[in-house]
Amino acid sequence: MLPTRTSTVPSVDVSRYLGTWYEVASVKQFFSIGLVGSTAEYSLNPDGSIRVFNSGNYFTFDGPPSSIVGSAVPVDSSNARLNVSFTGFNSAEGAGNYWIVDLDPDYQWAIVSDPTGVSCFLLSRTRSISPELRADLLARAAAKGVDISNVTETLQPPA
């Protein structure tokens, strides 16, 4: 395992974090190459875990759809470090694989990575962000130990 490079926000109010987030940029993962219009929708499961519904379309906004459902479990009381799993098994043990490294005070944008800083997701409540905000979020991510060298824009349909 790679050493921990990143840090997280002190705490996250889960109820404010729930809802739809648009992926405006990310380090593409094997499962997300070619996806556009990617969103993450978070809601509460009956057992108290967080339902994660990720979706997008391949290559064009009306291209073949892709979606997956998983769950997230906080690993500590900060709610800033979570384990996200799409396999049906999840645990609150360990360091977590979903770290909220920075978060707008009004929950309008979030920067998500992992303990190693290898992954990076820039999330927004809106489909697009200004070039200035994008540059600011990338600078914030880098300052938190996230490797931003492979971050690319995620195309979103017009509002």
pLDDT digits (tens, 9 = 90+) for 45-95: 999 999 999 999 999 999 999 999 999 999 999 999 999 999 988 888 889
Q: Reply yes or no on whether the pLDDT at 121 is more than 80.
A: yes
Question: Can you identify the CATH homologous superfamily of domain 14-153?
Answer: Calycin beta-barrel core domain (2.40.128.20)
Average pLDDT over residues 132-143: 98
68 close to 86: Cβ distance less than 8 angstroms: yes
Q: In angstroms, rounded to a whole number, what is the distance separating the alpha carbons of residues 147 and 142?
A: 6
The residue extents of the domains of the chain are 14-153
DSSP 8-class letter at 138: H
Half-sphere exposure of 109 (CA within 13 A, CB side): 18
pLDDT at 2: 62
Given pLDDT bands bounded at 50, 70 and 90, which one contains residue 1?
Answer: low
pLDDT at 116: 95
The model carries a pTM of 0.95
Burial of 150 (0-12, 13-18, 19+ CB in 10 A): exposed
Average pLDDT over residues 24-39: 93
* Residues facing 124 on adjacent strands: 22, 109
Give, in order, the Cα–Cα distances in Å from 111 to each of 56, 78, 102: 19, 16, 5
pLDDT at 67: 96
Q: In angstroms, rounded to a whole number, what is the distance separating the alpha carbons of residues 149 and 138?
A: 10
User: 3 vs 115, which has greater pLDDT?
Assistant: 115
One-letter identity of residue 24: V
102 close to 9: Cβ distance less than 8 angstroms: yes
pLDDT at 6: 87
